[in-house]
Structure 1
């Protein structure tokens, strides 16, 4: 990226799973990075290795309430919002306000600073899609009054704000529609399928499958996603949203089978009702990202699952003794 070693970058939500990996990658370019996080779902442990880094600052604040006084920035990444259903449904009003009021505050800051702005949106803007795979031109099938609306509609509103600022103020904006992402630093309690299945398998507990397990997802490893975010921010000529995700689609049942084989767990599978508005199929069309950014995922699902499982075994369940876990140090950042 141009002038990367001289850039001053703000990462809202930088103590979270994806945000902390992004911070590491940005610091590796030589940039100065400030993280703004309310620590609702972010964790200081994700950034503990940066405590003595002179080009890094951590500011605890909630973008819904106000923005603290900070130096001018050249780039602003907005990743501030709980991303898993149990977390964003715990306080749906705050979730919605984070996406709307919080994004508005950050956009105003970007306008005042003359900063380029990247909004972390989500594949959830497509809802339970009627179009497969999902392209950026698809407007989605979202329930605006259901239990997931605080996140789905919040992110859709955030996108509208971002593009309004582009039209009204000439702000340089980027919108990444992020599909299911996994890897080290996921929270064990975040309720996402990868962390749920791995942690239950490592503990030997029943593995919960919602519905019949035939619903599909496309899982992108964290380092691939971060590479896409950085390329998107650096791209000099991009307008409109860009899907970032792995187009290799598989069923939840297949994911469970892979984790069971990987861990050698004695866990049994138990089924629970499918949550309200849970998408049946999810697969990104990444043709736009490939054409504009030269980007495509490179980390194989098996290698990514091995690295993620090894991290959970070491960091979350240090007493677990699962067979077949491969340490893939090159992937664990």
Structure 2
């Protein structure tokens, strides 16, 4: 089923469209989005295109991705005059989109454990080479760039705080395979500062909590994604640890609304956490929540070697979202209604 024809899905998109944001800043402008077919990218494209269709925003979307075939399956806008898809890899040497943009969002990244473990080089290059290409592009266009960073840049909680604010620096062992993700995200943030200083690029950073939602991709190997896939298939949810880890989660609609707040209202050079206390939960409680929806059980099993190599070692990674809230951002979903909504939508869409 096409999600953009599903009224329940569109109600979530419309909720973001209805937010009190300076939408006029996007009117008649062009927005380039890498990773446009990903979980967050697809929802963001849906929001902008919905705003175009219903309210005449006139914002041109330049969707960047590696596969036109995948894009046609994920983004049903190829016949719309405000939508442009450009096939290519952002990590290719000297990559540039063919047309200028006023805003650039770098969302393309490896995002789950099997990718980190099986393609660590590609993980690093997406966060570093891809970002550099888009920073050069933003410099050429005079565009504002938003870099989608991650809670993972904080590493392991040292035990001295309950929540990470934007000034916190935790422990990361950089001499591991798994460091390909968090260290390259850290470097990406430093690159934004370097391009601000030397090239005058206007750049903002969004550090995003663990995201879930109805635009979930079928090959996503993150724990919550696997929980959902199994539960929807009527299979027991498999927990590959004791489940005592406590993390911040975020529904994709709230991730997108947060990105829009940072893009349109954030201060040049600043980083903003996108997280909400109402979506903090222990992994075992999250597994139980998903299992209950599917009428299945939670079982425990050890990960295979490829999965284990890609897993985060963090056991406590809660974020403070107060800085983003000061921009006027307020999440629409807590973890309970976010999971219920997502599972209901996925069941219908699948």
TM-score (norm: length of structure 2): 0.84
- Structure 1 position 205 matched with structure 2 position 235: yes
The structure 1 residue matched to 2:290, chosen from 259, 284, 292, is: 259
Q: Secondary structure at 1:139's aligned position in 2?
A: coil
Give the drift of 1:236: 5.7
Report the equivalent of 2:16.
none
Structure 1 residue matching 2:342: 3-state secondary structure: helix
Q: Indicate the residue corresponding to 1:270 in structure 2.
A: 300
Please state whether the residue corresponding to 1:50 is helix, strand or coil.
coil
Corresponding residue for residue 296 of structure 1: 330
Aligned to 1:331: none
Identify unmatched segments of 5+ residues in structure 2.
1-21, 52-56
User: Structure 1, residues 298-331: CA drift from partner, whole Å, max 9, x if none?
Assistant: 2132221122112332334xxxxxxxxxxxxxxx
1:310 equivalent to 2:341? Answer no
Contact 1:219–1:245 (Cα < 8 Å) also in 2: yes
1:134 to 141, 164, 183: 164
Name the SS of the counterpart of 2:130 in structure 1: helix
Matches within 5 A, 1:16-95: 16-27=38-49, 28=51, 29-39=57-67, 44-47=72-75, 49-66=76-93, 67-95=95-123
Q: Deviations over 1:181-226 (max 9, x none)?
A: 1101212321112221111122232321122111112221111110
Quote how far apart the aligned CAs of 1:269 are: 1.0
Matched, 1:287 2:314: no
* Distance across 2 between alignment mates of 1:122 and 1:162: 14
Match of 2:27?
A: 5
2:234/2:294 contact within 8 Å kept: no
Asked whether the 8 Å contact 2:236–2:291 carries over to 1, the reply is no
Alignment-derived partner of residue 148 in structure 2: 120
**Would the alpha carbon gap of residues 103 and 93 (structure 1) be closer, same or farther in structure 2, given more than 3 Å must change?**
same
Which residue number in structure 2 is paired with residue 325 of structure 1? none
Contact 2:236–2:299 at 8 Å: present in 1 too? yes
Deviates more, 1:273-282 or 1:303-312: 273-282
**Which shows bigger deviation, 6-15 or 252-261?**
252-261
Structure 1 residue 44: deviation in Å?
4.1
1:283–1:115 Cα change, 3 Å: same
Native 8 Å contact 1:174 1:232 kept in 2: yes
Q: State the secondary structure of the residue aligned to 2:291.
A: helix
Alpha-carbon offset, residue 168 of structure 1? 1.7
- 2:260 matched to 1:226? no
Residue 330 of structure 1 corresponds to none
What SS class does the counterpart of residue 182 from structure 2 fall into? helix
Structure 2 equivalent of residue 194 of structure 1: 224
Alpha-carbon deviation of 1:31?
0.7
Structure 1 gap segments, 5+ residues each: 317-333
Give the Cα separation in 2 of the matches to 1:88 and 1:38.
18
* Deviation digits for residues 114-153 of structure 1 (CA, Å, limit 9, x no counterpart): 0000000001101122243111101221121212211111
| 1:106 positional shift | 0.5
Structure 1 position 96, deviation (Å): 0.6
In the TM superposition, residue 39 of structure 1 has moved relative to its aligned partner by: 4.3
Task: Say if 1:6 and 1:30, in contact at 8 Å, map to a contact too.
Answer: yes
TM-align CA RMSD: 2.0
How far residue 234 of structure 1 moved from its aligned partner, in angstroms, is 0.5
Whole-angstrom CA distance in 2 between matches of 1:208 and 1:263: 13
| Alignment partners' CA distance in 2, 1:33 and 1:174 | 19
Higher helix share: 2
DSSP 3-state at the match of 1:239: coil
